Amino acid sequence: MKTARHWKPWLVFAGCCMLSCIGYGLVINTPGLYFSTLTQELGITHAQVALPISIEYATAAVTSIFAGRLLSRFDSRVVLSLAVATCAAMFMLCSRFTAIWQFYVAFAFLGAGYAIAIYLAPSALLSNWFQARQGTVLGIALGLSGIGGAIFNPVVSTMITTWGWRRSYFITGMAIALLILPFSAAFLTFRPDPAKGEHAYGAFARQQASAPLRAGLSAKNAFRSRSFILIIPAAFMLQFNSGLIQHISGYEISQGMTLQQGATVVTGIMLGAAIGKVVIGVLLDGFRAYYVIAGYAAIGVTGWIGLLLAHTPTTSVFFGVLGGIAQGLLLVSMHGWPAHASARAVIV
């Protein structure tokens, strides 16, 4: 029992790290690298080839409404494994497509799978398994999404130019399945089970703390609160910002860069995101969220304006790093908001 109590949170943490690194690195950050090749291969416009990404985000938004209930009511290891398998299968199927409408269908399913396994699961699981240092573990786990993007963007762009887009899609799908499924099937249970000797990290320290949590709000009142109302447009704008990353490579190519140079700019964004997500988790554990978020927003605005105006590889990479740092607002501060809000509410 002691071993289960001691090690299980860290096994869940390791699994969430893989979801974030491989999932974001391959599923979320690489589809934009195919845009230029697919426009030529299929004889379509850039807007048509980018539409699958919009469909993906739309289905992800709908799926997110009930994804948390699926994870809590059913065996999360089964749910997550099915979601990961869906993502892997859609990438492998893309290697066989000959018309753009087929990508529309595949990315609709891809959005549902990624919303459950990659977007929601790491923050939800880590919030359940860590009552202490929650911002830090969220920052590290989600920060690995930037590392994954920094690694896989140049790798996938090289595969596309060397082996072609079809083989690249298939290899990506196989990598998603082989690298993530073992963790999702073995470790990623939704919450600790005290009957098995499982407890969240920091649970005993929280129980011994002199200041208990306040009773909190009902769901009805929480949904009407100013914080919840304001967080909805904030999440929408930050998600819109995240979606722009898919178009960076194509935009830089339109400005005269090569595919590899465009991928390097995206790599700069991913490296900045890795730094930003890790650091913001630590900062949110030690400072007031208002100041941390304001500082990150300023850095992000500077980075994205710079990307719009800069058209050389070096300057674009620099501003890409700044824009990437602000990604911590989306993947750490927004996901960890209930744990870091100054007036924490327990919704009952």
Amino acid 280: pLDDT: 78
The structural domains of the chain, with segments of one domain joined by +, span 2-340
10-residue averages of pLDDT along the chain (348 residues): 63 89 86 86 86 87 83 89 95 94 94 89 86 76 78 88 93 94 87 81 58 54 72 68 71 78 80 78 74 85 87 87 79 50 33
Q: In degrees, to the nearest 5, what angle opens at C-alpha 301 toward C-alphas 19 and 141? A: 15
Amino acid 338: pLDDT: 44
Amino acid 344: pLDDT: 34
Indicate yes or no: pTM above 0.75.
no
Residues 192, 129: contact at Cβ < 8 Å?
Answer: yes
The CA–CA distances, whole Å, from 296 to 140, 300, 323, 326 equal 17, 6, 9, 5
Annotate 96-165 with DSSP letters as a single string. Answer: T--SHHHHHHHHHHHHHHHIIIIIIHHHHHHHHHBSSSHHHHHHHHHHHHHHHHHHHHHHHHHHHHHH-H
Amino acid 341: pLDDT: 40
Amino acid 332: pLDDT: 57
Residues 6+ apart with CB under 8 A from 276: 143, 146, 296, 299, 324, 325, 326, 327, 328
Amino acid 83: pLDDT: 94
Amino acid 222: pLDDT: 67
Cα–Cα distance, 281 to 135 (Å, whole number)? 4
Which class for 323: exposed (0-12), middle (13-18), buried (19 or more C-beta within 10 A)?
buried
Which CATH number describes the domain made up of 2-340? 1.20.1250.20
